[in-house]
Amino acid sequence: MKKSSFTSPALPRRSVLTGMAAAGAMAAMPRRLVAQEQITIRWWSPQSSPEQLAAYQTQIANFEAQHQNVKVVFEKTSDEGYAPQLAAAFASGDVPNVVTHLPSFAVSNYWRNGLLEPFNDVIEMIGPEKFYPGANDGYEVDPGQYAGTSIGNSAANMMWLRTDLMEAAGIESAPRTWDEMLAAMEAMQGGGIWGAPLPYGRNSMTSLIFIGVIHQAGGQVFSPDLQVAIDTQETRDALEFYKAMRQYCPPGATNYSWGDSLTAFVSGACATGIYTGRVLINVNTQNPGIADNVTCALYPTKSADIPHWTFNDFPSVFIPKAAPNMEATKQFAAFLFDPEGYIQQLHAAPGHVLPVLQTISADPAYQDNPIIEKYSAEVDKMAAAAANGYNLGRESAEHQPNAKAGEIVNSGVIAELVQRVVLNDENADQVLGETTARIEEIMAG
């Protein structure tokens, strides 16, 4: 399969010709399938808000209407619990047909273990030329073979800000450096409002957010050739910053994961937040009183000469190799990108998962959304950040793909590093040495 020939950078939503959108909407999907007997396609995803479920039902109904004797069943999984759920499914052979919205680094791990069907056919059905440049690079774990693709992009460590609280505190612009961030927290905290909802629990959010903080210090977890490189002064600086921020986080932050952190900002309990664009729909539906005073910025770095690092988990779609009814499965996986249902899915939480197809970004139906219209500057900022984002599966353009990234995150070793040094005040040198040894064991296993 040929890679996309596009070489231009990610484009703003309104800068792509609307003719491209029309071409995408009219593109022929795979031929209709007529099964001789009733078959069932099982779809797993941890993303299951009421709005998303409604979009999924549209996609399912539209697919079933075009494919005789094919039934699609959606089954909810868990953000924190998907690893054991899938491990049990792979072990038993009772696997779902399609899995969506897991991080790209999880897909690489399953591919390396021989558990996934090549996704090349599905990408061809969708149209590789429709994807943003480089969108599929992280899934090419083996040359010419794609383990999956992205159902969208995300900018998961955006800094969310309350402009009314900034104005009251005399803060004119979003903090660019850690020192400016700490000063802003000091100025805005008070009167029952905390500064930030950073996570300190032993969970994936703490691991993933702190990986970003290491990069914001100018460090990395691995060298480009995948040697463990976490035991550095940059990581020590990241730990000191995270420790300094603890006083500005609610007491419950010691157990925060994604939902807790999101709620802390949306409810008005914190002056800043750290999350994807789901903040926008949640604020407007759950706390509209602050909706006109919410904006976002890239998270600060240790100093202004260190570039920003955006965590994009590249929410994925992939197919287990043992899935039954493979032809129907691949056709359904491709159908997830059919404009009507895909746009409804993206609109379920506008700005949370961003389009991975240029044709969808340009589609007037995608642009016609009150949240995307109201927060066009924020959505464009997130789209640009996500397009240049990375995660532990590939920390930079120079890094090799890391198929062990999912195991490292799921092991909790990086979250434990944070807890031991930041919360328990253990010796950073000793803990970093032990952390390095544990990560090396995972890489060697």
- Which domains, ranges and CATH numbers included, belong to the chain? 13-154+312-387 (3.40.190.10), 158-309+412-444 (3.40.190.10)
256 neighbors 194 (Cβ within 8 angstroms): no
Please give the pLDDT value at position 30.
52
Give residue 46's identity as a one-letter amino acid code: P
Q: What is the pTM of this model?
A: 0.83
Please give the pLDDT value at position 82.
85
Q: For residue 62, how many other CB atoms are within 10 A of its CB?
A: 15
Query: Which is higher by pLDDT, 1 or 195?
Result: 195
Q: pLDDT digit string (tens) for 129-182?
A: 999 888 888 898 889 999 999 999 999 999 999 999 999 999 999 999 999 999
What are the structure tokens assigned to 326, written together? 């493979």
Burial state string for 213-238 with b = 16 or more CB within 10 A and e = fewer than 16:
bbbbbbbbbbeeebebbbbbebbbbb
pLDDT class of 17 with cuts at 50, 70, 90: very low
4 neighbors 136 (Cβ within 8 angstroms): yes
E-only strand ranges, 254-408: 272-275, 294-297, 316-318
Say yes or no to pLDDT of 24 above 90. Answer: no
131 neighbors 355 (Cβ within 8 angstroms): no
Please give the pLDDT value at position 36.
66
Measure the CA–CA gap between 311 and 267, rounded to whole angstroms: 24
Q: Are strands 98-100 and 149-150 parallel, antiparallel or unpaired?
A: unpaired
Report CA torsion sign: 79, 405, 323, 352. positive
The one-character DSSP state at 399 is S
Measure the CA–CA gap between 393 and 402, rounded to whole angstroms: 5
Q: Strand, helix or coil at 322?
A: coil
Calculate what percentage of the chain has a pLDDT beyond 90.
Answer: 81
Q: Tell me the average pLDDT across 276-299.
A: 97
- Which of 388, 257, 353, 409 has the alpha carbon at shortest distance from 45? 353
E-only strand ranges, 54-140: 68-76, 98-100
Measure the CA–CA gap between 198 and 418, rounded to whole angstroms: 12
